[in-house]
């Protein structure tokens, strides 16, 4: 098992963001760091429910799996300054592990994990609104924010312009070999 998990969410499973993550994975392999990629679109879980009637969907097994990793990369395109719906649903469902006493011990296991953001958009830089939503979530959960990487896909995904940024990003993980 790798030390890094990527939580990937996009309306296009093989679009710009997936290509970006694949290129990052290849670069990380060159420094003997591997990662596991989870496509959130392959899981079926509903919105947060104050009565926890949704406890038998895919969220709990997915969350339990994620807790095994010290590093989590949240990877999405930027949709209208925000994350795709399935990523938002995932972030909201973390509330299960903060709201229900029987799950609280598991929810506290996010504290101290390191979180990164990998995103694509049609802009030269990632939106601060988008980034801050993650950063504030990480701070609330007691996670360490490690940084982010962004790809400008205004002309579609192009690997070559991303190479230097990906190399620099990969240096953040040299001490986290699988």
Query: Which CATH number covers residue 115?
Result: 3.40.50.360
* Strand order across the beta sheet in which 71-77 lies: 35-39, 4-8, 71-77, 114-121, 144-152
User: Is residue 121 assigned to a domain?
Assistant: yes
At 145 the three-state DSSP class reads strand
User: Is residue 178 assigned to a domain?
Assistant: no
d(CA 21, CA 150): 11
d(CA 72, CA 34): 12
User: Is residue 138 assigned to a domain?
Assistant: yes
**pLDDT score of 177:** 55
How many domains does the chain contain in total?
Answer: 1
Q: What confidence tens digit (pLDDT) does each residue in 122-159 have?
A: 999 999 999 999 999 999 999 999 999 999 999 999 99
Q: 54: burial class by Cβ within 10 Å (0-12, 13-18, 19+)?
A: middle
User: Is residue 71 assigned to a domain?
Assistant: yes
Q: Which domain holds residue 63?
A: 4-173
**pLDDT score of 116:** 97
The rounded Cα 8 to chain-centroid distance in angstroms is 6
pLDDT < 70: residue spans in the chain: 1, 175-178
Half-sphere exposure in the Cβ direction for 143 (13 Å, CA): 26
Model confidence, pTM: 0.94
**pLDDT score of 106:** 85
d(CA 90, CA 114): 17
d(CA 57, CA 44): 6
């Amino acid at each position: 098992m790798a030390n890094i998990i990527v939580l990937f969410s996009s309306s296009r499973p093989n679009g710009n963001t997936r290509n970006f993550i694949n290129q990052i994975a290849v670069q990380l392999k060159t420094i003997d760091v591997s990662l596991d990629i989870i496509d959130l679109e392959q899981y079926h879980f509903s919105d947060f429910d104050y009565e926890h009637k949704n406890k038998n969907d895919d969220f709990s097994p997915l969350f339990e799996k994620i807790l095994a990793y010290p590093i989590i990369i949240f990877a999405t395109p930027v949709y209208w300054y925000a994350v795709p719906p399935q990523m938002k649903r995932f972030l909201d469902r973390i509330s299960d592990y903060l709201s229900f006493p029987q799950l609280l011990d598991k929810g506290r296991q996010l504290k101290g994990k390191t979180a990164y953001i990998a995103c694509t958009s049609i802009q030269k830089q990632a939106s601060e609104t988008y980034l801050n939503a993650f950063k504030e979530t990480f701070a609330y959960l007691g996670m360490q924010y490690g940084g982010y990487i962004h790809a400008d896909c205004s002309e579609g995904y192009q690997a070559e312009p991303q190479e230097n940024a990906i190399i620099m990003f990969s240096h953040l993980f040299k001490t986290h070999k699988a």
